[in-house]
Each structure stands twice: as structure tokens, then as C-alpha cells.
Structure 1
Amino acid sequence: MSAGVAGVAGATGSAVTALEDMLGQWRAGGPFAPEDLARLDAAEAVPVAACRALDDAGLPAYYVPARFGGRLVGFPQVVAMLRAVARQDLTVAIAHGKTFLGAVSVWVSGSPETAERLARQIIDGAVVCWGLTERGHGSDLLSGEVSAERTTDGWRLHGTKWLINNATRAQVACVLARTSAVGGPRGFSLFLVDKRELSPDRLRTLDKIPTHGIRGADISGLSFDGAPLPATALIGEPGKGGETVLKALQLTRTACTALSLGAGDHAIRLATRFARERRLYGRPVAEMPLARDTIGRAAARLLLAEAVTAVATRAIHVLPREMSVFSAVCKAFVPTIVQEAIEQVAELLGARGYLTDVFEHGEFAKLERDHRLVAIFDGSTLVNRHMLISQFTRLGRGYGVLDPSAADRLSTLVNGPLPDFAYDTLALVSASGCGLVLAVPGLLHRVRELDSGGLMAHVLADFEAACAKTHAAIGAYRPAAGMPAADAFALAELYEVCVAGAACLLILSSRPGDGRAWTLLRGCLELVVERLVPGRYGDDGVFAALAEHALLDDEPLTLFPRDQEDSPW
């Protein structure tokens, strides 16, 4: 790897800050210039130069665990780096970050030899894709028809994987294939396919699929016709492919939040710049009460998404056995609430949010289109809520016990050094539910102690009552055969909001005396209660105060300045 991010970081600070500085330079006149990215989007062309710049900067090394020679030590860091890229352009972030998603299965279950071989390729710039889905089967992975049959010296792969990001650009593909005729949970295995080793008569890349968003993305498919694979292509044990994918998805779904946060950062920046500069009726739009309320409420949504992401990415290290819950909440909640924020500020921008040649090279229209696709990556919102519903029995157990030490016990979720992540500790379901939400009574106790003026008393009381009511409903839920009813999905959505509120309480408990953080988090909690209590409308003054922070400058609005020692990033 060249000096790149690591070299600059060594001299100036964190790798995240170094990457942000590079991206700023490239935006001013380089591969991330907005006008150039807009032209590529219109032509539905892959932003190759921008991806190459990230390669040259050494970003691929942060997709590889340190034990295999890379620089991935903490998941919060790689999420923060992908967020920084997505803040500039979602298409680039998706195209480049897909290698991380494609490789995770190998980090979870691959042999050391396979992992080290793939690690070297990624660090050298190889693109990796993930071939899971097929035409007609979608997210129902256990209905997949692509098959792998044993041979005397390895395997032969047959069938077509469809809707694969980077299928054409990638040199390596991680492919899920049926290895048992009867299928089922133990009937699928994963294979690492080096496309460069297959002849055109054995592997054919399908045509690019036109998409409404991320137009430049290389989304197509791979068709295998008896493609010969060596025995070493198998990832993990035969029949464990489904289990490996489900565990890998816990990491990739959490990482997808980086795409939403970056898009939200970009949208808020464009909207606040417009509001400061645009004048109507003799004054800036930013001074109009409705505009300030819109900005404040959109900012609260983005910050709430950030709070959930910050805690969940650290939970990968701290509470890995609960990631089936955290990842499902992240993937269902974060893209949903960030999309709401984008739509809110779109109303503020009016026609300029949709025109391509009038305001900021059409960046807002592009990010709005692009971000809509994030919700379906690595499992749609409904798929992830179904994952939560399947764990209701555990999630509803034990809520309501006051543990005054909860904030201290969970403090590693928001600050301090992280333990090394052990990939083999991931579990398909969480036997203990979600420790963060079970700690809500104790977290409320701590925050009330810190809230000496009682400014948050009302919102804390409302959250306490709503959280208890939600858990009572979850505890009373009785699963039935078949697909859950609509009210179960609505209950899962409420549970996501409870997790978001718990994340805010935990962060508040870790930031005593930080007036700025308390102002921002109070806005987040007002939003949480709005979503949990029918007819409740948050305090306008709180959102107006939040808008003041959002309108200050062009820097991303965040709960955690990256250069502070207590930042979870």
C-alpha cells in the first residue's frame, strides 16, 4: 500500500480525518469534482477515476482485518471512512465499499490460507463482489438454484446469479451455491471464485441492469456453465454457507449505515447552504421559522441515525452475540429515517432539489435517487423487521429491572478502547435479547441524575412509558405459523425506535456537562417520543436550537467530533 491515508494519518491524526482531507482536495479539483461525477451519472458510467484514487490512497487495506495483513482493527473506523466517501458521492462509496461486503464471508468462516490469499489481492486493488441472489428468488436465499457439484479435484459451478453489484468489474466473486439437492439450511456452501481463472465458455458476465439510482453502478450478473473450481475455493465447511452468510450480513448490514449517514450529511449540507444564501422577501431562507423547523427536524433524524450506528458498530466488538438484533435494527431504521430527513429538506429546496443544471450540479437529485436503493441492500427493511419479529420471545424477556450500574457496564459501547473482534463469536440469534434496551431503566436513572435542571424530565417520562408499553406488547406477542401479521411489523418498527432512544440515553450518560451534545440529543429524544407516542409533537424550541447548530457552517453535523479522544469513531 502507498503512504496514502495511513501515511498522512501518521503525521496529522486519524485515518478518517486524513481521508476526509483528501476527499476535500479531490472534490475541489480532482476525481471527486461534482461536475465530473454528474456527467458520469448521466452517462450511467462507473466512476473509475474516483475508485482508483481511493485504491491509491490505501482504503482497501481498511477492508482487511489486521490479522491478515490489513488495517481493519475497529469496525467504527471503516464505517466512518465509508461515510466520508458517501458524503461526497454515494455511487463511489457503493462501488468501492462493495469489496468489503464481498469479502466478509471469508473473514467470518474462511481458512487462514484463503483469508490471507484474498487479503493480499484486496490490498493490491482487487475488486470483490458478493453473489447471493438470483432472478425470481430475491431475498429467499434458500430457494437458490445455482449449484456446485463435487469433482475429483474440486467443484463445478452451474447457474446464474443475478443483481450483483460489481459483477463485471470484480476480479473475485464470493458465490452462494446449492451443494445438496434437497437444499435447506445445511444445503448451501460458499465459494471464492477467481474470475480470471475461468474461460469465457465457463463464465459469462450479464449485461448491466439500468437502475433509477446509483446509475453508474456495475449491477449485472454472473452465469456459470460447469465452471471448474479448485477444492480451495470452498469457504468454510460444506453446508455452512447459509449460516456464514447470515453472520456476515450482521456486519454488512451494520456497515450499510455508512451509506445512509453520508447521504444524510450531503443532503443537510446542501440544504443549509441553500438556506443561508437564498433570500426571499428580503431575508435569508434560514431566518424563516418554517425553514428552521424543517432543518432542525431533519438534523434530528440524521443525528438519531448516527447514535444508533455509533453504538451498533462498537457492539460488534463489545456485544457480538447480540448483533442479530443490532444489525437488523440498523438496516431497518437508519436508511428509513435518513430518507425521511432527505425528503424533508427536499421540500425546502423546492425545484432546485430536482434540477440538474441549476443548483450544485444536481447533487441533491442524485443523492436522493441513489439513497433510495440503500434500503434494499443486504436485506430490505421488511426482511430485517422479520428478523426482529423472529426474536420477540427473547427481546420481550426481562425488561423493567432497574440496574443503576447499567451506564457504567455499557460504557464501552460509546467510548474507550475496543476489544479485538472475534469473528467466531457471532450468533444467528441473540439468546439474551438486547442488553442496551434492557438497560433503559438504569440509563434513565443515570440521565435524570445528570439532568439537574430537569429540562428533559418530560421527554424522559414519555420515553419511559412508551418503552415499557412497547415491551409489554412484545412480551404478549405469540408467534404463529406463516408470515407474521402487519401489526407485528409495526411493533418491530416501534422496537427499533426504543433501541434508538436507548442509544441516546447511553451517549447522554457518557457526556455529563457537554451542553452541545445534550442539546443535540434532546432533539433526538423528542423525535423518538414523537414516533412512539401517537399524537405527540416534539418541542419546536428544541428543534429550533438544533437548527442553529446545523446552520453554523458546511462541516458535517455530528454528535462525535472525530478528533476528540472520547469519540466512538
Structure 2
Amino acid sequence: MEHPPYRLAGDLDRFLGDPNDPQETFSYARCAELDEKEEFPADICRRLQEWGLSGYYVPVQHGGQLRDYEQLLQLTRVVARRDLTAAIGHGKTYLGGVCVWIAGSAEQGERLGADIKAGVPVSLGLTERAHGSDLLAGEVRVEETAAEPGGWLVSGEKWLINNATRGSVLSLLTRTDPAGGPRGFSVLLVDKRELDEGSYRHLPKVHTHGIRGADISGITFDGARVPRQCLVGAEGGGAEIVIKALQLTRTMCASLSLGAGDHGLRIALDFAEERELYGRRMVDLPKARGTLATAAADLLLNEALALVASRAVHTQTAEMSLTAAVSKYLLPSGTEAVLGELRGLLGARAFLRDVYADGRFQKVERDHRIVGLFDGNTLVNLNSLVNQFRSLVRGYRRGTGDSEGAATAYDLGAPLPPLDPSKLSLVARRGSGVIAGLEASVDDIARRAAGEPALGPAAAAARRLLAVTAEVHTEMETHQGVLTDVPPAAFETARRYTLCYAGAACVGLWAHSAERAAQGATGPLWCDGLWLRAALDRVLVRLGEPGDGEPRMYEELLAHLRLARTDGRLFSLLPQGEPEPPAPETTGALAGENERTSC
């Protein structure tokens, strides 16, 4: 199976060269050097610009190449797999533009699109020093100016802003009504190149634990004159525009977690293959094998959810308030847990910079911790789900939700319709189509299992998920009126809901894409429901349910992981590019495992 987003991502990966070659601009060694110096990866960003990555931050209607959010997910994953600092520093430009893509005028979109394609950095100015995630408490304000009727004077400080100093253009959330409130804020597209000298100043770079080279700083405005045509959308519509924009950016943050997981797992696997303990290679020790296999299962679970979520941007646009919150909570927190488990394999080398693999493991773990914080942290996303419990329970009881859109998202061979930003909604009013379609997908797998007994364990796991999902919705009913002072139990229920949603996405993805995917290079992962069974086992365990108890499943998964390494392939549900020839010294050693993985 050739999957276009994977193929394009493979093209970018090959263009960037071998990351193990220190002579390459975007090498692991170079990234480690920049991290040590806390230096922005400007040369790497120029290399990304040469390939044309910035064009994929701009929708086609504004002159760019962004027509498929799954494609953007895979491209950013390639960059994040090499270095999260570069991915976050360069990718911030997409975040800076998304308010315009949602609500801006055609003229604003065309002008900003041209700037972004030319390599002009763009930033999103939301947070302030005293208010953090409480956007409606923001104090950056405007005043009418008599000198320029219809224009504004902007004053106040935005802080902990990525690209605040480097960015030439900012999408700025600003208080336009002194009384504030939901309709008291607007988004302004502020071009620093057009501001009067002395009307703004940059704040010092903030020294961070991770992404040390990123431009995390701030900006202060002091009566900066901004013309009325800088207003994005309607005056007073800023909070709604930003919330809808975050539904897209939170979903795309999945690419950062996927890339970090790919990188961390590969480092740990390489170490386990090379390290000898007690007269045996570490990879042959049961504890190490179990850790690697469960990490592989978690990464496939994350990938399945990210694939569905990125496609749902197009097919279930009205439910993105739900999809974004689930993926932005589950992928960063799940990847942090995976990296924590893998850290135990490397021991002290997981913390040292100059002893093993250029210190890449400690760097990726440090860098990834920020992903769960920006664009809405863990509690913000769980709270967003709690606030939607009423509509989610009602939709579940009625069987509503966009199940047709979910089915299109699941079918990796189905073309995606263009994104219609006007369909973005603050809440999923009719419930979840992913959850609504779960029972039908479970029944489909059960029917197949009747003729293919090897599918029986996957069908059984899917039925267990269906039962737990019903229990979780019963729990949600007890908290569906909660809007403020959310009790801890409601957050725990929201956490359990994210796992049910992820499991349902896995079941739907396998049911709708297995036949096509089984024809590709990673087909054995799909045969007999192997990856599905492993992913559902991880979901059920995290829900507090008994595990599968069958070690052979994880042994098979580990065999696939090791073969991907031998072949030079990304361990993934779908192939990315052409595999490299197998390494001669390892081909024979894994021949037996290769035989076990045939479909």
C-alpha cells in the first residue's frame, strides 16, 4: 500500500540527509551542539525552507500546499523525529497563521501566505505573565486613536511566546472591550515591520529546561499604532477564533509526540541490541523485551489515534472540539510515559550528554515535556471534555454523532474533502461519531473472526472495549452538569473517556483499512489484527482492566520492531519511503523472527 502522506514525508526525510552523518546540516550531532549552546537552529530552518516546508503551513486557497492535514502531520513528524526544537521553532509559523486561515479576509490570507512561503517567521501571541491559560483575563489592550480614525493603539505584554522575537508577524489576542468577557477580545494581525520604532520591545529569551534553542521570549507594546484592517474576523470574536484555531493546532501537536516517540524508541532499541549484560545482549533479556514491546504497542496506539484525528479535521470538522482535546491530552501524556519506561533501559546513559548517541535520549525527553504544556495543558484539555459531558452522553444514548465522517477518516484509501473552517464548533453538539460507530466496527470484526479464527482475540478485546465504554458513559452522567469547580473524579472520568475514544479509533481504523493495508510492506502488522490487539490491550490495561496475558503477541510485535530497524524502515502502521537494504550482520540473526511475522 502506497500512502501519499507517508511518501511525501519520505521525500523530505531523504532530502534532509542521514541524521547520523555529522556533516549534514540537520544531523543529531549538530542538534546536540545547538542545544548545548542554547542556539536557535537557523541553518536547519533554512534547510527546511529550501525543501519548501513552509508552503505546507499555508492552505491552497491562500497560495500554499496545505490541502491535507494528515500530510502536515507526517511532514512535521519527520522533523520532530530528528529534533523537537527545530520542529517547534519552525512549525510555530503554522500556529501563527491559523487564526487567519479560519477567520481572516482573502487579502489577509494572500498576504500572510506569501510571507510564510517566503520564510517570514510568524507567531501566535496568546499568553501573559500573570494569567497563563486564562485567556479571558488578558490585559493587552487597545485604545482608539484620534490621529488615525478607525485605528488602534496597542499596549501591554505577551510572555512565554514562541518566536516572539524572531517572528515578524503576530496573531495577537487583544482586549478590545475594557469590560472583557467572551466578546471582549479580538485577534489582530500585527506586522512588526510596520510598527513605529520604539512602540514595542522584545523581552529577553527565557532559558528553558527543554527546547533550549527555541525563541521562547515575549513582547511588550507601548501605544503601537495598528490599522483597523489588521482585525481578523469580527471585532469581539477573538476568543472564539482562538478556541477554534487551537482545535487544529492541538491536533497537529500529535506530530511532535509521534516524532519524539519514534526517536526515543529507536535509541532504546539500538542500545538494547548493542549492550551486553550477564553474558547476553540486553535485547534477549525478558524484562528488556517486555519494555520494548509495550513501548512499540503504545506508539502504534498513538499513531492510529493521530492518523484518525488528522483526517477527522476534514471529515468530522464539527467534532474537533472533542477530537483535539482527546489527542492533545493522550498523545503527549502517553509519550511521556513511554519515554519514562525506556529511560530505565538506558540507565545512567539516559541522563548523560556525551556518553551514548550524542546524549539524544535526555534531549528528546527534556524537549518533549513542553508538548503537554503549550496550546492547552493536560488539565485544560481534560476540563474541555468535562464541559462537553452532557452533549457526549446525550449523543451516546441517542446514537448520534458524525459516524459517516468517522468512517471516511478510518478509510486510509478514501480522499479527504477540503476543510471548511466554518464548520468548526465550540462543542460537539451531537456527540462523537467515533464512539457512535464503535459497536458497528466491533460487529464487523466479530463477523470476520467467525471465518478467520486468528482474529478471535482482537474481536474479544474490541468487545471488552465496548463494554468499558458503556461504563465510562455512565460515569460521565454523574458529572455532566459540572462547569466550574470540577472535582478530581470528573477529570479521572475524562481521562478514561480519552482511552475509550482512542480504542474506538483503533477498532474503526482496522475495520475500514485492514484489507488495503495488508497488501503493503507493513501488512503483517495488520494480519490477524496484531497491532489492533496490542493497542487495545494497552488501552484496556490503562483503563484498569486485565491485560491480554498472551506474551506471544508482544513477542511478534517486538520482532516487527527489530526487523524495521534491520531494514532501515520507520516502525509504523504504514511504510514510509523505500526500505534500505538489510544490514548483512543482522539479517541472519533475525531470520527466525522474520519467518514468524509473515501474514
Question: What TM-score, normalized by structure 1, do the two folds share?
Answer: 0.94
What is the Cα deviation at residue 176 of structure 1?
0.4
Superposition pairs of residues 220-231 of structure 1, within 5 angstroms: 220-231=217-228
What is the Cα deviation at residue 547 of structure 1?
1.5
Indicate conservation of the 8 Å contact 2:126/2:172, yes or no. Answer: yes
> Partner letter of residue 233 of structure 1?
C
> Partner letter of residue 430 of structure 1?
A
What is the Cα deviation at residue 400 of structure 1?
6.6
Matched, 1:379 2:365: no
CA distance in 2, matches of 1:409, 1:422: 16
2:344 is aligned to: 347
What is the Cα deviation at residue 21 of structure 1?
0.9
CA distance in 1, matches of 2:232, 2:175: 13
1:234 is aligned to: 231
> Partner letter of residue 460 of structure 1?
A
Indicate conservation of the 8 Å contact 1:400/1:441, yes or no. Answer: no
Residues 464-486 of structure 1 show CA distances to partners (whole Å, capped at 9, x for unaligned) of 22111111211343424622100
Indicate conservation of the 8 Å contact 2:442/2:459, yes or no. Answer: no
1:526 pairs with one of 537, 544, 557: 537
Q: 1:236 to 1:481 in 2, by over 3 A?
A: closer
What is the Cα deviation at residue 456 of structure 1?
2.4
Matched, 1:547 2:549: no
> Partner letter of residue 549 of structure 1?
H
Indicate conservation of the 8 Å contact 2:17/2:24, yes or no. Answer: no
Superposition pairs of residues 155-554 of structure 1, within 5 angstroms: 155-399=152-396, 410-415=407-412, 416-451=414-449, 452-453=452-453, 454-480=456-482, 482-510=484-512, 511-512=514-515, 514-517=523-526, 518-534=529-545, 536=547, 539-552=550-563, 553=565, 554=568
What is the Cα deviation at residue 39 of structure 1?
1.4
CA distance in 2, matches of 1:171, 1:529: 47
Indicate conservation of the 8 Å contact 1:160/1:221, yes or no. Answer: yes
Residues 376-420 of structure 1 show CA distances to partners (whole Å, capped at 9, x for unaligned) of 0100011001000000011112437889x9689714433211001
What is the Cα deviation at residue 22 of structure 1?
1.6
Give aligned-pair identity as a percent.
Answer: 43
Q: 1:407 to 1:418 in 2, by over 3 A?
A: closer
Superposition pairs of residues 59-78 of structure 1, within 5 angstroms: 59-78=53-72
Q: 1:84 to 1:179 in 2, by over 3 A?
A: same
Q: 1:125 to 1:103 in 2, by over 3 A?
A: same
Indicate conservation of the 8 Å contact 2:18/2:27, yes or no. Answer: no
CA distance in 2, matches of 1:114, 1:438: 39
Q: 1:438 to 1:538 in 2, by over 3 A?
A: farther
2:9 is aligned to: 16
Superposition pairs of residues 11-90 of structure 1, within 5 angstroms: 14-25=7-18, 28=21, 29-90=23-84
Indicate conservation of the 8 Å contact 2:95/2:123, yes or no. Answer: yes
Indicate conservation of the 8 Å contact 2:315/2:408, yes or no. Answer: no
Q: 1:45 to 1:60 in 2, by over 3 A?
A: same
CA distance in 2, matches of 1:310, 1:251: 14
CA distance in 2, matches of 1:23, 1:293: 33
Secondary structure at 1:455 match in 2? helix
What is the Cα deviation at residue 54 of structure 1?
0.5
Q: 1:402 to 1:426 in 2, by over 3 A?
A: closer
Secondary structure at 2:394 match in 1? coil
What is the Cα deviation at residue 41 of structure 1?
0.5
Indicate conservation of the 8 Å contact 2:185/2:238, yes or no. Answer: yes
Secondary structure at 1:373 match in 2? coil
Indicate conservation of the 8 Å contact 2:399/2:436, yes or no. Answer: no
> Partner letter of residue 121 of structure 1?
D
Indicate conservation of the 8 Å contact 2:396/2:431, yes or no. Answer: no
Indicate conservation of the 8 Å contact 2:144/2:151, yes or no. Answer: yes
Q: 1:238 to 1:538 in 2, by over 3 A?
A: farther
Secondary structure at 2:309 match in 1? helix
After TM superposition, the structure 1 stretch with the greater mean CA deviation from structure 2, 350-359 or 484-493, is 350-359
Residues 74-106 of structure 1 show CA distances to partners (whole Å, capped at 9, x for unaligned) of 000011100000000000000000000110000
Q: 1:13 to 1:244 in 2, by over 3 A?
A: closer
Secondary structure at 1:228 match in 2? strand
Q: 1:408 to 1:483 in 2, by over 3 A?
A: closer
Indicate conservation of the 8 Å contact 2:19/2:26, yes or no. Answer: yes
What is the Cα deviation at residue 534 of structure 1?
4.5
After TM superposition, the structure 1 stretch with the greater mean CA deviation from structure 2, 92-101 or 35-44, is 35-44
2:125 is aligned to: 131
> Partner letter of residue 40 of structure 1?
L
What is the Cα deviation at residue 232 of structure 1?
1.5
Indicate conservation of the 8 Å contact 2:403/2:432, yes or no. Answer: no
After TM superposition, the structure 1 stretch with the greater mean CA deviation from structure 2, 489-498 or 19-28, is 19-28
What is the Cα-based RMSD across aligned positions, in Å? 2.1
Q: 1:312 to 1:457 in 2, by over 3 A?
A: closer
Q: 1:108 to 1:398 in 2, by over 3 A?
A: closer
2:573 pairs with one of 535, 559, 564: 559
2:584 is aligned to: none
Q: 1:409 to 1:478 in 2, by over 3 A?
A: closer
Indicate conservation of the 8 Å contact 2:308/2:409, yes or no. Answer: no
Indicate conservation of the 8 Å contact 1:323/1:426, yes or no. Answer: yes
Question: What TM-score, normalized by structure 2, do the two folds share?
Answer: 0.89
Q: 1:563 to 1:362 in 2, by over 3 A?
A: closer
Aligned length: 554
Indicate conservation of the 8 Å contact 1:23/1:88, yes or no. Answer: no
Q: 1:318 to 1:538 in 2, by over 3 A?
A: farther
Gaps of 5+ in 1: 1-8, 565-569
After TM superposition, the structure 1 stretch with the greater mean CA deviation from structure 2, 320-329 or 301-310, is 301-310
What is the Cα deviation at residue 533 of structure 1?
3.0
Residues 511-566 of structure 1 show CA distances to partners (whole Å, capped at 9, x for unaligned) of 046542221221101111111234546543322221111122153211122469xx
> Partner letter of residue 555 of structure 1?
R
